[in-house]
Amino acid sequence: MAKQNIRHLSYADIETYFLEQGEPKFRAKQVYEWLWQKKAGSFEDMSNLSKVLRAKLQEEFDLPALKVDATQYSSDGTIKSRFITHDGHKVEGVLIPTEERKTACVSSQIGCSLSCKFCATGYMERKRNLSFDEIYDEVVLINQQSERVYEKKLSNIVFMGMGEPLLNYSNVLRAIERITAEDGLGMSPRRITVSTAGVAKQIKKLGDDGVRFKLALSLHAANDVKRNEIMPINETNNIRVLIDALNYFYKKTGNEITFEYILFKDFNDSLKDAEELVKIYRQVPADLVNIIEYNPIDFFNYTKPDEEGIERFMSYLEKNRVNARLRRSRGKDIDAACGQLANKDRL
């Protein structure tokens, strides 16, 4: 019979367990600290428990943890890690360093079911959702890298890795609860951004649940015809529906909303496309439009515009008072940039 993952127990559950074993209540606090603050990788690490008690926990519970399987270092300082789960699946996460920030880009699923044409993960089969403790482990491991390589803790977390976070809703929210809890990693929710390809029903649910983190919508085309072509999810969650959902989210939470827009040469980079993007921007209380460089993948034959085309598009947005920022890609040389995560064997 499979042992229960001890990290899937609440504090109250652990407390009840120890009382039933005739142990004092404070044992629960000790164990909880090892699980969520001291990042114990095994029961043997819990040095303030007796050997007998550690052996008993080992006998009755499981403590599976994500492990680093391989690491790549980009010439620009970006670090990509491939993690391996307790059941042998692989998933990638990225540390993106700048002078001001150390950002973890984390995954929420093993593979993805949305099949966005420009994203390497979209060509993978979705194997399963990551559990909340596996997502937590991604952050812990990337934070350890940041401290080791850059001598600084993570400042930001973005859910922009493999998978659609809002199709793993409960695990993502529970992971963020542990990441932001005082008895967890203690990070501010305002330093966390969850990015979605556009699951309108779940965007509204975020509003109803009163979340405190930021939300980013991967828009990438400003009309339904073009968005349908590169993002099949638009056929059931079109732009009008998404605008309504984002306004609902903002009304409920007041949290920051960002649009993500990858530029593809001769597809969505004309001034007419820019004009349509401005119209969408004016219908949502968005703080920012991130214009993103396209990073080529094997399966999609689009290219990015030349610098003149990018500048023309940006100038139009700025002239029309859109708060737009050009996000230069990081980690392209190790396939760690936006849309490139795919568990390549050469890692």
111 CA to centre of own chain: 13
Cα–Cα distance measured from residue 91 to residue 138, given in angstroms and rounded to the nearest whole number: 10
Cβ-contact 65, 86 below 8 angstroms: yes
The two tokens of residue 162 are 């493999």
Buried b (16+ CB within 10 A) or exposed e, 150-184: eeeebbbbbbbbbbbbbbbbebbbbbbebbbeeeb
The two tokens of residue 167 are 């199709």
Cβ-contact 74, 331 below 8 angstroms: yes
DSSP code for 337 = S
Element (H, E) at 141: helix 132-150
Among residues 23, 59, 92, 177, which one is catalytic? 92
Among residues 105, 116, 119, 338, which one is catalytic? 338
148 CA to centre of own chain: 22
- Across-strand partners of 61? 4
> For this structure, is 92 an active site residue?
yes
Q: Which one, of 194, 195, 280, lies nearest residue 244 by Cα? A: 280
The catalytic residue positions are 92, 338
